[in-house]
Structure 1
Amino acid sequence: MKVQGWMFMWLSVFVLAMAVVYGLWSKEAAGTTALFMAFGLCVMIGFYLGFTARRVDTLAQDNKEADVADEAGEVGFFSPHSWQPLALGIGGALAFLGVAIGWWLLYFSAPLIMLGLFGWVFEYYRGENRTQ
């Protein structure tokens, strides 16, 4: 994770330089703003990855002498039967379609997004896994 953090930090330096050059050269506000926002996102991701890398054990990808088999094993827990990402995807697609077609479409997409998000966060807090 340490390597990815440094990659994003160097990418943020490059994006910042390109934002300044683009802003001075084109004098166009939308593209310049987008590049400065991309710079901010790169800094946030790089900082998060670097911050997290200091608090977790060294991974095989951070060891130059590591073998491919060193990273084998369980990666994490992924819900095998969740329908909530489908609801979020449909709601998000409708929301972005609402920007192109009309803002009235957000009245249909926002409840679908909220329902999918609420269901995804709390899907393991019902039934036998519910806390008392």
Structure 2
Amino acid sequence: MKIQGRLFIWLSVFILIMAIVYGVWSKEPAGTTALFLAFGLSVMIGFYLGFTARRVDAGAQDDKEADVADDAGELGFFSPHSWQPLLLGFGGAIAFLSIAVGWWLIYFAAPFIILGLFGWVFEYYHGENRTQ
């Protein structure tokens, strides 16, 4: 994770330089603002990855002598049959469409988003005292 953190920090330096050059050269506020926001996002990601890398064990990507097989293994649990991302995507699409069409469309998107989030969070929850 250390190398990813460093990559994002160097990316943020590049984006900051480009934001300053773009802002001075074009005098266009929207693009300049977007580049400065991208700089901030890159700094946040780089700081988080560097902060987390100090608290977890070194991975194979941090060892210069590591092989590809050293990083093999389980990456986590991914639900193979979840419909909740589809529901959230549909609700998110309607919500973003409301920016173009009208804010009243949010009222139709909110139930999909709420049900999708609730379903995704509690997808594998079967109660605290379940015997199986």
How far apart, in 2, do the equivalents of 1:114 and 1:2 lie? 36
Structure 2 unmatched runs, 5+: none
User: 1:99: how far off?
Assistant: 1.6
Match of 2:89 in 1: 89
Partner of 2:65: 65
Using the TM superposition, give the Cα deviation of residue 8 of structure 1 relative to its aligned residue in structure 2, in angstroms: 0.4
Report the counterpart of residue 21 of structure 1 in structure 2: 21
Query: Counterpart of 2:10?
Result: 10
State how far apart, in whole Å, the 1-side matches of 2:48 and 2:79 are.
24
Shift of 1:60: 0.8
Amino acid of the structure 2 residue aligned with 1:13:
V
Q: Distance in 2 between matches of 1:49 and 1:113?
A: 29
- Could you say which residue in structure 2 is the equivalent of 1:131? 128
d(CA) in 2 for partners of 1:124 and 1:111?
Answer: 21
Distance 1:131 1:29 in 2: 53
Alpha-carbon displacement from aligned partner over 1:34-61 (angstroms, at most 9, x marks no partner): 1111111101110111111111111111
For residue 14 of structure 1, report the CA deviation from its aligned partner. Answer: 0.8
Structure 1 portions without partners, runs of 5+: none
**Alignment partners' CA distance in 2, 1:26 and 1:18:** 11
Instruction: Kindly report which structure 2 residues correspond to 1:90-105, keeping only aligned pairs within 5 A, or say none.
Output: 90-105=90-105
Amino acid at match of 1:4: Q
Query: C-alpha distance in 2, partners of 1:48/1:131?
Result: 33
Cα shift at 1:124 = 2.1
CA RMSD of aligned residues (A): 1.3
SS at match of 1:58: coil
The superposition leaves residues 66-125 of structure 1 with CA deviations (integer Å, 9 ceiling, x where unpaired) of: 011111111111122211111111111111122222222211112211221122112222
Hey, what does 1:51 align to over in structure 2? 51
What is the distance in 2 between the residues matched to 1:44 and 1:60? 24
CA distance in 2 between counterparts of 1:29 and 1:117 reads 36
How far, CA to CA, are the matches of 1:47 and 1:64 in structure 2? Answer: 22
Give secondary structure in 1 for the equivalent of 2:77.
coil
